[in-house]
Each structure stands twice: as C-alpha cells, then as structure tokens.
C-alpha cells in the first residue's frame, strides 16, 4: 500500500484508508507493524514515445561523438 506523508502540527502522519483498516479489522489503539521505504514516482512513458526518444538519441550519437573532440 502506498501512503502520502502529511504534516499535522509538529508530526508527520500516514493515514490508513478505511477499506484497508476494515480488511485488517483495525481500530483506534490497534498495534501495526510498519515498514517505511521512501518511494520515487516517475512518469510512465508510452512505448511509442520511448522508441522515438531512442531513435533521436541514436541519430544524435554521431554528432555528439564528433563534437566531443572539438
């Protein structure tokens, strides 16, 4: 489950969505085990756009090789 960290006063909090809490029968005061790992979200690039980027990079490689020695 991904959760967004928010600030409340001087603390950082993560909320548990209602459906997840119900699945685990959690209530106020329940103890839970939490594993934290910072996530980095990156945009998904459409395959056809990625192919175009790769084509442009390949075509530009010769020019870049030529320019690097100048």
Task: Please say if the pLDDT value at position 19 is more than 90.
Answer: yes
Task: Please say if the pLDDT value at position 12 is more than 90.
Answer: yes
- Where do the domains of the chain lie? 6-68
Q: What is the pTM of this model?
A: 0.47
At 30-57, the pLDDT tens digits run 999 988 888 888 888 899 999 998 988 8
C-alpha of 48 from chain center: 22
Q: How far apart (Å, rounded) are the C-alpha atoms in residues 68 and 70?
A: 6
Residues of the chain with pLDDT > 70, as a percent, come to 100
SS3 (DSSP) at 61 = helix
Exposure string of 4-30, with b = 16+ CB inside 10 Å and e = fewer, is eeeeeeeeeeeebeeeeeeeeeeeeee
- Structure-token pair, residue 46: 């459409």
Categorize the per-residue pLDDT at 22 as very low, low, confident or very high, splitting at 50, 70 and 90: very high
């Amino acid at each position: 489950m991904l959760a967004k960290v928010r600030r409340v006063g001087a603390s950082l909090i993560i909320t548990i969505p209602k459906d997840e809490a119900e699945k685990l029968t959690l209530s106020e005061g329940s103890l839970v085990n939490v594993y934290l790992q910072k996530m980095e979200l990156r945009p998904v690039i459409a395959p056809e756009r990625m192919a175009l980027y790769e084509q442009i990079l390949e075509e530009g490689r010769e020019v870049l090789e030529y320019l690097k020695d100048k």
